[in-house]
Amino acid sequence: MTDEGPRRLRKRRRTRWMITGTATVVALGVGTAVVLTRVGSGSAVAAPQGPAKVETAEVVKTDLADKKSESGKLGYGIETALPGRKPGTITGLPAIGDQFDRGKSVYTVDAKPVPLFYGTIPMYRPVGPGVTNGPDVKLIEENLKALGFGGFGTPDEKFTDATATAIKKWQKQLKLDQNGTVAVGDVVIAPGPFRVSTLVASLGSQATTDVLKYTGVNRGVTVKIKAEQRDSAKVGAKVTVSVGGKQTTGTVQQVTLAAPDNNQGMPGQDQDTKFDVSITLDDPAAITAPDASSVDVRFTVQSHNGVLAVPVGALLALAEGGYALEVVEGSSRRLVPVQTGLFADGKVEVSGPDVREGMQVVTTS
């Protein structure tokens, strides 16, 4: 969390020596003492007599990322409702857990299959002879060609006689009326393969209502976040997922507005707005916990790349303000003033004219 560093620093003030306005005698080890001065004066720490052995750490150049943890659920991602648009009676339904690829029949209406086509826009009109140019024509041609029904060249937005012929061949294979037209409800449109997660309709229902709900086919994680966290959960952002002692990385795939909770307060209150974040696992085999298991997801809130960093325990809080590092050089030590930056994963970003990569500094952790 962002306040990890400051909390550890407050504890540190009780365990390590401090510098006063002018000079102070402090203990560095059993039976030894040195005189220290204000860091701003530029004076070095006098060499101790027989210093006790101390723990040191190296100033390193690294990438730091401040992360925030949220609880999520393991499963197959966010559910999407599939509305039925073909008039008639539902005569066949899939089972929960069934998966569908392009061209496969998802359900049947009046004993006729309704197959899956891939696309990002819904069917908004019949596509057949006489139709004007449009993206829905290209969608139909792309899917027909992927299924092996070509002859019209590169898919485009223009409907031709060759397009109609390809549609008729596809309809013949499915034992449908060979009219060369794809009506609005003749196919299911989804971005890609999907898995049935919930059945909404039942056999005998009218087919113009929601039929089912679906998710992606790969296991993933769903997390609910607040509106102010949107910047750290953008599509494509990397996250860390932990469950049952195992850890892997994931990628934000989708962010959608969450349905309001009963206790969210009055509608329209921005602070109550929440979003569902769907995360795919970069290595699905890395997590073997059962579905619905609670997982810890860490989002990157802020990151700094290629910065100098030390353990938080190496920071020395000065009585007159600011921070310093106690640099070890052979048998002597000196104080180097530093400015702090990002705190993350037990480390802190440090900078200053006298700070260099490879320096050895005293630390408590």
Say how far apart CA 47 and CA 24 lie, in whole Å: 15
- Residue-range domains of the chain with CATH: 4-67+304-362 (no CATH), 68-77+219-299 (2.40.30.170), 80-215 (1.10.101.10)
What pLDDT, on a 0 to 100 scale, did the predictor assign at position 324? 96
The per-residue pLDDT of the chain, averaged, comes to 84
187: exposed, middle or buried (C-beta count within 10 Å: 0-12, 13-18, 19+)?
buried
Say how far apart CA 145 and CA 246 lie, in whole Å: 43
What pLDDT digit, counting tens, does each position of 180-227 carry?
999 999 999 999 999 999 999 999 999 999 999 999 998 889 999 988
Say how far apart CA 210 and CA 122 lie, in whole Å: 15
| Predicted model pTM | 0.62
What pLDDT digit, counting tens, does each position of 229-243 carry?
888 888 999 999 999
Residue keyed to tokens 């060759």: 162
What pLDDT digit, counting tens, does each position of 101-121 carry?
999 999 999 999 999 999 999
